[in-house]
């Protein structure tokens, strides 16, 4: 396991909400897709990231977000924090219907980072991910 810190000025201190927003980003579909570009292998549910690749994982720039985006992400974090999370294939199937944990998470992150993003585009991403054997192995 590797630890990460928020992007920004060296030595800058951020409120816990900044770290909550980072957790949302890293678990969102765009965050997962960006992070997995640096993986070097996998075994079961674990994905291996070599230490030298950790700095290449795109992190959320919390300091660049508007206050309304920060507030939205914190509200999303609070609402999802106690949610029982299904497997990723189940999350993706629900998200295809425009509901559920994955859809709510992705919508909040994209609204904060790219206001005006057309959420309908997510359906294609969800379908493609469900077709990947690493996400939904064929039995």
pLDDT, residue 59, reads 80
Residue 97 structure tokens: 């219907």
How many residues does this entry show for the chain? 139
CA-wise closest residue to 89 among 101, 104, 73: 101
Residue 112 structure tokens: 């904060």
Maximum average pLDDT range among 14-28, 36-50, 96-110? 96-110
Cα(99)–Cα(126) distance, integer angstroms: 12
Beta bridge mates, 42: 47
pTM: 0.80
pLDDT, residue 108, reads 92
Taking residues 9-23, report their average pLDDT: 81
- Domain ranges, ordered by start, for the chain: 16-130
3 state DSSP class of 108: helix
pLDDT in tens, 28-86: 998 888 776 655 555 555 556 666 766 667 788 888 899 999 999 999 999 999 999 99
Cβ atoms within 10 Å, residue 21 = 27
């Amino acid at each position: 396991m590797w630890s990460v810190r928020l992007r920004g000025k060296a030595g800058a201190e951020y409120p816990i909400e900044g770290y909550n927003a980072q957790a949302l980003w890293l678990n969102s579909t765009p965050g997962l897709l960006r992070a997995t570009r640096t993986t070097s292998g996998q075994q079961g549910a674990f994905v291996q990231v070599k230490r030298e690749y950790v700095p290449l994982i795109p992190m959320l720039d919390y300091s660049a977000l508007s206050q309304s985006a920060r507030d939205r992400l914190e509200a999303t974090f609070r609402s999802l924090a106690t949610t029982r999370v299904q497997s990723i294939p189940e999350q993706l199937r629900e998200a295809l219907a425009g509901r559920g944990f994955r859809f709510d998470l992705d919508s909040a992150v994209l609204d904060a980072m790219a206001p005006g993003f057309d959420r309908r585009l997510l359906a294609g991403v969800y379908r493609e991910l469900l077709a990947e054997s690493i996400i939904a192995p064929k039995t």
